[in-house]
Amino acid sequence: MFFKIKILYRYLAVSILKNFLILLGIFSIVIVSSQLLHLPSIIYHAKFTDFLKILLLINFSFFKFILFFGFFISTTLVGYSLRENREIYAIFSAGISLNQLLKPIIYLSLLFFLLAIISSLWLVPFANRERANFITFSVRQYFLDSIQEKNFSNLSQNTVVYIEKREKGKFKNLFFFNKESGQIVTSQEAYFKGLNLTLKNGYIQLPSTNGINLIIFEKDKFIVDIDYIKNYEIEDFDNKKLLNIINSNDKNKYKALSILIERMFFPIPFLFIGILGFLIGLKSTKGKDYILALSILISIVYISISFYILKIISKGSFNPIIFVIFIILYFGSLVYYFYKK
């Protein structure tokens, strides 16, 4: 009997994980494809490895929702498969109870609960910050790489650069002008490292009320101003920064609280949705389309109400504990209903 249960548990776990990986691939393709439309066109001229990096960061940015829908639908499909193929009758005939059947689902729920904690608290915010920084750097680097010999190039609204010769990443006889400050820089040799411009053997001309100040240098370094930056919002701040805002008198303290609450409590549904999805597939008498639609509807209702509650919390007029109570009651009551059905 023990050997049979062990085989059954392995079969259920493998089936759920197999479905999840397939859905992970499908969701990733759909999300990445939709987000490509919002990328700056310059990104498409990036190196292949850099382009792959931005695709990976996009995928990680939505990973917690991929995890949620993927796990929920995977368990639903496995429960439906057991019912549709009449395997459930053979399982119950072998003396295996529903509680025993739910054990591997519970273990997988704990595994996905841990993955949800990691993705919600660290992975997704980190990926969003890295994506913004990477896009900014890539676009700026593109402008730097586009500087041509014996041509005036506008790096920003206020910055003009001219070079006489370019060879192996180094510039010969560079002229640099900042319209806003009136600063003029000339250099016999220069090269970029990231956004840092290193100059050798030149001078800096600074306008002043008494005329012009001239600074001669052997080596100097400064950051080039380029008119492009993709900022990340407060939603992507790291947890420590959000806590500092919450503990201060900042006007965004309640918004920071709602963001941190969402990150902390997002994993809780994973303790329910595995069991809920499995029971929906197993106990519903409807077809596959119906149970998939029901699972998606349950998810959308939860996300919509959660969004509304978090919006109220961000205005400082709602106790965050209510959010936890809502999650437990919402999914707990659904699990209880389908368990007793």
Q: Are residues 260 and 181 in the same domain?
A: no
Specify if 150 maps to a domain.
no
pLDDT at 271: 94
- The more confident residue out of 147 and 111 is 111
pLDDT at 279: 94
Q: pTM for this structure?
A: 0.76
Q: Are residues 207 and 255 in the same domain?
A: no
> Residue for token digits 């609204």?
157
Domain boundary among 223, 245, 261: 223
Which residues does residue 197 pair with via DSSP β-bridges, in sequence order? 192, 222
pLDDT at 41 over 70: no
Q: Are residues 264 and 138 in the same domain?
A: yes
| Domain span including residue 329 | 2-142+232-340
Q: What is the pLDDT of residues 278-310, one digit of tens each?
A: 999 998 888 889 999 999 999 999 999 999 988
Contacts of 311 (CB under 8 A, 6+ apart): 258
Q: What is the pLDDT of residues 210-261, one digit of tens each?
A: 767 777 777 887 666 555 555 667 788 888 888 888 888 778 888 888 889 9
Give dist(CA 66, CA 133) in Å, integer. Answer: 23
Q: How confident is the model at residue 276 (pLDDT cuts 50, 70, 90)?
A: very high
Q: Order the strands of the 170-178 sheet from edge to edge.
A: 152-154, 159-167, 170-178, 183-193, 196-208, 211-223
Q: How confident is the model at residue 138 (pLDDT cuts 50, 70, 90)?
A: low
Q: Are residues 50 and 133 in the same domain?
A: yes
Domain boundary among 197, 223, 249: 223
pLDDT at 319: 81
Query: Average of pLDDT values for 40-58?
Result: 71
Q: How confident is the model at residue 272 (pLDDT cuts 50, 70, 90)?
A: very high
Whether residue 334 contacts residue 298, with contact meaning beta carbons closer than 8 Å, is answered with yes
pLDDT at 32: 82
Q: Are residues 211 and 309 in the same domain?
A: no
pLDDT at 110 over 70: yes
How much of the chain exceeds pLDDT 90, in percent?
A: 32
Q: Are residues 115 and 255 in the same domain?
A: yes
Tokens found for residue 83: 């019912």
Count of domains for the chain: 2
Q: Are residues 302 and 261 in the same domain?
A: yes
Q: Are residues 274 and 334 in the same domain?
A: yes
Q: Are residues 37 and 93 in the same domain?
A: yes
pLDDT at 46: 64
Q: How confident is the model at residue 327 (pLDDT cuts 50, 70, 90)?
A: very high
* Selection from 274, 271, 265, 270 nearest residue 322 by Cα: 265
pLDDT at 85 over 80: yes
pLDDT at 141: 64
Q: What is the pLDDT of residues 144-193, one digit of tens each?
A: 666 777 777 776 677 777 788 877 767 888 887 877 777 788 888 887 66
CA distances from 311 to 251, 255, 256, 308 (A): 15, 8, 11, 5
Domain boundary among 165, 191, 223: 223
For the chain, the residue count is 341
Whether residue 140 contacts residue 195, with contact meaning beta carbons closer than 8 Å, is answered with yes
* Selection from 121, 128, 318, 116 nearest residue 234 by Cα: 128
Whether residue 316 contacts residue 256, with contact meaning beta carbons closer than 8 Å, is answered with no
Q: Are residues 175 and 292 in the same domain?
A: no
Task: Please give the full DSSP string across 155-179, using - where no structure is assigned.
Answer: SSSSEEEEEEEEETTEEEEEEEEET
The rounded mean pLDDT for the chain is 83
pLDDT at 1 over 70: no
